[in-house]
């Protein structure tokens, strides 16, 4: 027998208990990351991300499974855009918000959405949690449930509960056992190889420019403050609302520095740009980047080439550089499908949304065919 508890805080659950649930290559579902979002208010009611945690325990009160989800009053910070669905509801005189979203806030990275203890039956736990997500949505008046950036092997449990599959795509880099960066370059088409060599050569010839990699106990509060400053500056430049605070970055450095990799560019000994990445197991994920001074090719160096070199040296197998960016293809990244599952409480909208998803998948298939001759590898 299993018992389910729905709570709105991680307080009262230990990091060790939560992190014992299987999540070997995905740092964003770790207790430290989710807790940092919660306690700093970056994922909270003021930001339109009201947390709900579903906790499953066995008859001995041992934690068997859990999921993290949020009641959303808007569609921002998810990277799976459903604004057209909101508009369709509005035209029909219906309310689309609130909705229930199982995803890591502001993080378009594929990973498990139901965390399961290695001794528990994953299929059973996923089915139990899927039912509970639907139940929560109905109890609190949500129009829908959205499970975003879900791993392909975990889709079936939600499909059995009448969730609809939606496809997207990102660009990922794969380490094919390269001995060094030059060997990686040797696998690219000559045009792409020369382009990368030119970009790196011109950048590193910049007088006074140095690049440093910092991780683990090398990271300091000053590093956190730099990243917060760059993050806020980037949002201001693009007219975006900043969702993450200085305290959030400071909390990450204090609680999960072993999973953070920071590339910092200095010009004449002063930091001018940085890119923050998260690593765990055999994967690394690019997350935030910012610069205080524009230097040609610096973005590519910090966000792509430094990360690729780091993965090669540390034998990491996959680097996910984040959402969007067709310019990643000539730099060694390959388009990959992403997956999300969607449950609509109102039957009236199921058929039109299903047609929309089928049409969208057709467009994505066309895009993949167009990319095929332009992939960078020989």
Q: Hey, CA dihedral for 250, 254, 256, 260, is it positive or negative?
A: positive
Nearest by Cα to 376 from 195, 192, 196: 192
Same domain flag for 23 and 46 = yes
Same domain flag for 136 and 203 = no
Copy the structure tokens of residue 105: 């806030």
The DSSP symbol for 56 reads E
For residue 42, is it within any domain? yes
Domain membership of residue 209 as a residue range? 176-316
Nearest by Cα to 36 from 278, 345, 372, 337: 278
Same domain flag for 55 and 154 = yes
For residue 233, is it within any domain? yes
Same domain flag for 25 and 140 = yes
Q: Are 309 and 332 in contact (CB under 8 A)?
A: no
For residue 331, is it within any domain? no
For residue 322, is it within any domain? no
* Per-residue pLDDT in tens (0 to 9) along the chain, 378 residues: 899 999 999 999 999 999 999 889 999 999 999 999 999 999 999 999 999 999 999 999 999 999 999 999 999 999 999 999 999 999 999 999 999 999 999 999 999 999 999 999 999 999 999 999 999 999 999 999 999 999 999 999 999 999 999 999 999 999 999 999 999 999 999 999 999 999 999 998 888 999 999 999 999 999 999 999 999 988 888 888 889 999 999 999 999 999 999 999 999 999 999 999 999 999 999 999 999 999 999 999 999 999 999 999 999 999 999 888 899 999 999 999 999 999 999 999 999 999 999 999 999 999 999 999 999 999
Alpha carbon distance 352, 336 (integer Å): 26
Which pLDDT value is given to residue 235?
Answer: 86
For residue 208, is it within any domain? yes
Which pLDDT value is given to residue 354?
Answer: 97
Is residue 202 helix, strand or coil? helix
Which pLDDT value is given to residue 19?
Answer: 97
Same domain flag for 13 and 49 = yes
Q: Are 286 and 322 in contact (CB under 8 A)?
A: yes
Nearest by Cα to 255 from 104, 31, 38: 31
**Residue 218's CB: how many other CB atoms inside 10 A?**
12
Question: Is omega for the bond preceding 127 within 30 degrees of 0, making it cis?
Answer: no
For residue 330, is it within any domain? no
Q: Are 10 and 34 in contact (CB under 8 A)?
A: yes
Q: Are 144 and 96 in contact (CB under 8 A)?
A: yes
Same domain flag for 180 and 148 = no
Count of structural domains within the chain: 2
Copy the structure tokens of residue 107: 């993080």
Same domain flag for 147 and 239 = no
Q: How many CA atoms lie within 13 A of 249 on its CB side?
A: 27
Q: Are 106 and 57 in contact (CB under 8 A)?
A: no
Same domain flag for 88 and 52 = yes
Alpha carbon distance 147, 340 (integer Å): 6
Same domain flag for 211 and 263 = yes
Same domain flag for 247 and 135 = no
**CATH number of the CATH domain containing 25:** 3.40.630.30
Which pLDDT value is given to residue 259?
Answer: 98
For residue 225, is it within any domain? yes
Same domain flag for 220 and 361 = no
Q: What is the pTM of this model?
A: 0.96
Q: Hey, CA dihedral for 308, 222, 14, 29, is it positive or negative?
A: negative
Q: Which residues contact 306 (CB under 8 A, 6 or more apart)?
A: 211, 213, 263, 275
Same domain flag for 31 and 76 = yes
For residue 53, is it within any domain? yes
Alpha carbon distance 38, 33 (integer Å): 9
């Amino acid at each position: 027998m299993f018992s389910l508890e729905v709570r709105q805080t991680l307080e009262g659950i230990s990091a060790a208990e939560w992190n014992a649930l299987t999540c070997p290559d995905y740092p964003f579902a770790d207790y430290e990351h989710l807790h940092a979002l919660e306690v700093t208010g970056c994922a909270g009611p003021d930001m339109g991300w009201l947390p709900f945690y579903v906790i499953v325990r066995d008859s001995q009160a041992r934690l068997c499974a859990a999921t993290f989800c949020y009641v959303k009053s808007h569609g921002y910070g998810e990277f799976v855009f459903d604004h057209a669905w909101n508009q369709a509801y509005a035209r029909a005189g219906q309310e689309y918000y609130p909705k229930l979203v199982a995803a890591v806030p502001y993080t378009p990275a594929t990973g498990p959405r139901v965390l399961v203890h290695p001794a528990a039956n994953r299929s059973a736990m996923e089915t139990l949690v899927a039912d509970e997500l639907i139940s929560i949505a109905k109890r609190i008046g949500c129009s829908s449930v959205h499970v975003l950036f879900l791993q392909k092997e975990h889709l079936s449990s939600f499909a059995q509960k009448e969730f609809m599959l939606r496809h997207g795509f990102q660009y990922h880099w794969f380490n094919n056992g390269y001995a060094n960066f030059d060997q990686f370059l040797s696998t690219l088409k000559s045009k792409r190889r020369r382009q990368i060599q030119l970009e790196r050569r011109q950048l590193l010839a910049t007088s006074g420019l140095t690049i440093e990699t910092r991780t683990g106990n090398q990271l300091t509060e000053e590093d956190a403050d730099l990243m917060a400053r760059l993050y806020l500056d980037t949002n201001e430049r693009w007219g975006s609302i900043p969702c993450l605070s200085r305290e959030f970055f400071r909390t990450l450095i204090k609680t999960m520095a072993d999973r953070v990799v920071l590339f910092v560019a200095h010009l004449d000994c002063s930091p001018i740009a940085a890119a923050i990445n998260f690593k765990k197991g055999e994967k690394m994920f690019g997350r935030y980047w910012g610069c205080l001074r524009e230097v040609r090719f610096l973005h590519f160096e910090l966000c792509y080439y430094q990360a690729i070199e780091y993965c090669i040296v540390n034998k990491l197998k996959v680097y996910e550089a984040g959402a969007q960016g067709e310019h990643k293809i000539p730099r060694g990244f390959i388009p990959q499908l992403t997956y999300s599952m969607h449950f609509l409480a109102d039957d009236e909208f199921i058929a039109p949304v299903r047609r929309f998803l089928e049409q969208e998948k057709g467009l994505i298939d066309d895009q993949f065919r167009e990319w095929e001759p332009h992939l960078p590898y020989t």
